[in-house]
Amino acid sequence: MKKALTVVVLLVVAGTLAWPEIDHLLPQNAPPERSAAPPDQLAAVQTVRLKPTAFESKLTFNGTLVADNAIDIKSELRGKIDSIAFDDGQPVATGDLIVKIESGELAAELSSVREQLGLATTNAQRLQNLFSSGSVTASERDDAVSRREVLKAEERRLALRLDKSSILAPFSGTLGLREVSLGDLVEADTLITTLQSIDDLKVDFSVPERYQALLRVGTPVTLWVTGYEEPFSAEVRAISPRVDVATRTIRVRAHVANQARQLRPGNYARVELISRDEAALLVPSVAVLQSLEAVSVFTVREGVVVRKEVTTGNRSATQVQILQGLQPGEQVITSGVQSVRDGQRVEVHNAVDLG
């Protein structure tokens, strides 16, 4: 009995000492099951509520200054330069002489024709009187009258050619650089100089068709011209009645006064148009989604996301003007825009009014 008790004690002691070594080898009890996950919660979004508000934007276009009147001075006759009556860059008035083409031969021809015309006129009158008395035939009278009319036509032709030998300024303006010298033989297409009226200039620029609603005759614009720190004022004079189908732009022409003659035709001008809408609908730029098919925003109506296609207008650094697709009072989602979808139920947090 005593021996059996000793064996039992030894087994208990041995088991106690060996337990740490074999405990990890034995199957462990399964951990208690976790409680079921709570049901999905509604996605939280932030919105802005649209209100009409004043919005001013600045649009910039590329323009070119153009003279109100501008021509190349050329001779209609072939001949030598007989005299030059201008200096480079000289201002002229309408009718001032610019260049004289040698015309002695034309003047002699005209003088001869006039002598013949005088004789033919006298002869035609004499034969008319004789015809009335029956002394000459109608054929003789008609030949004399025809001769007179032919000479009259030749006189007019030579007189016109003689007038063209004196090249006059057709309008007031400023002449360009002289391209010929005294004694040069000029042809009908030889450039002599240029003439431009620069007291008043035009600026031509193109506007994308999406801004056509902003264009009005009389709209003021501002010009920035290279070389000048101060801007120049201009006013829209005319708008092309058609859209260029290749560029989808509209040509616009504005008038700019240039009495100080600081500006020159051909100058590049940066044209600025200030647009102001007193009742614009604006959304943050982050709310606008752009795709190849359309531009859209997400709105919330009774807790449900509604995707709406919109037409945008001008932009500022942080806002976009909405021209079509939204109405005042609608809530536009501004956070989580990329993760919501049309028809999804959401919860609006921190809704604010935009305006």
Query: Please, what are the averages of pLDDT over each run of 10 residues along the chain (355 residues)?
Result: 48 51 50 46 87 86 94 91 93 94 88 91 88 82 89 92 92 93 90 93 93 87 92 94 94 93 93 86 91 89 92 85 90 87 87 55
Task: Give SS3 for 191.
Answer: strand
Confidence (pLDDT) at 318: 87
The CATH number for 103-164, chosen from 3.10.50, 3.30.420, 3.40.30, 1.10.287, is 1.10.287
Distances (CA, A) of 302 to 212, 252, 341: 37, 47, 15
Cβ atoms within 10 Å, residue 308: 19
All structural domains of the chain with their residue ranges? 47-54+278-354, 59-68+198-277, 103-164
Cα angle 201-204-206, degrees, rounded to a multiple of 5: 165
Give the whole-angstrom CA distance, residue 48 versus residue 334. Answer: 7
CB 336 within 8 A of CB 347: no
The CATH number for 59-68+198-277, chosen from 2.40.50.140, 3.10.20.340, 2.40.30.170, 3.40.50.1110, is 2.40.30.170
What's the predicted TM-score (pTM) here? 0.63
**Three-class HEC string of 242-305:** CCECCCCEEEEEEEEECCCCCCCCCCEEEEEEEEEEEEEEEEEHHHCEECCCCEEEEEEECCEE
Confidence (pLDDT) at 36: 41
Q: Please provide the size of the chain in residues.
A: 355
Give the whole-angstrom CA distance, residue 30 versus residue 295. Answer: 55
Looking at the domain covering 47-54+278-354, what would its CATH class be?
Answer: mainly beta
Confidence (pLDDT) at 352: 56
Give the whole-angstrom CA distance, residue 192 versus residue 198. Answer: 19
CB 207 within 8 A of CB 247: no
Confidence (pLDDT) at 355: 53
Say yes or no: do domains 47-54+278-354 and 103-164 share a fold: no
